[in-house]
Amino acid sequence: MTIGTRIPERLVEEISDPFVVFPLVQALHGLGRLIEEYNDELFSRYEDVAPKYRDVGFEQGLETVSIIMGAGFVAAQSILTRTFSSVRRLSEFDGVRSAGGGGVPKGKIELFQIAAYDRNGVPDISGINALANYFKHASEWPHDWNHLEIETARTVRAMGLRPGDPDNMFRGAKSLTFGGRDGLSKLAARVQKWRESVDAEIRHRLRQANLLP
């Protein structure tokens, strides 16, 4: 490796630097605490009420929790996107390009496969990204999106989501093991662990390409 091809350490470090995404992680934890508060309030009010007698207030409360959960997945997606941006900057470095890419992922699909856990056929990182997209864009989809051939729709169908089901966010989070009152806290921990795994994998690939000592 020559001096001209040496990769600045900062380009690699920012892939998993917790300070880069610290505000987003804190927001994710804050949304998790908010869900816990809403859950406590809802179930203390309705725990002794048979389901058929629960009023519209309970249903609206659950919808509120679903919206907060969706915001949490969007925050997690922002962390994924920032990680991808860091990896893309690295892939555009002249030394990496001249080495044929050094094994650095060029697209999100490839990146999200790194260190992903399989959740019934869905890589969990891709599932996080898809569930965030579903939350943001499902209102733009046709009423019956069973045959909608876009990546997000295919992924969330594989996660068990169904057109018109108000419990879709809960179902999606559970399929990725982020259900329950502490789901968003587990999501925050998982995303940061993934970033650290991506850092380690990319360092390994760069060393194999003689781009890192």
74-101 residue pLDDT tens: 999 999 999 999 999 999 998 899 889 9
Residue 123 has pLDDT above 50, yes or no: yes
Q: Which residues span the domain enclosing 150?
A: 7-208
Q: Angle at CA 79, nearest 5°, toward 102 and 81?
A: 55
1 in a structural domain = no
101 assigned to some structural domain = yes
DSSP 5-41: GPPPHHHHHTTT-TTTSHHHHHHHHHHHHHHHHHHHH
* Mean pLDDT of the 178-195 span: 93
Domain count, the chain: 1
| The residue type at 145 | W
Percent of the chain with pLDDT over 70: 93
Is the per-residue pLDDT at 2 higher than 80? no
Rounded to the nearest integer, the mean pLDDT of the chain is 89
The answer to pTM > 0.95 is: no
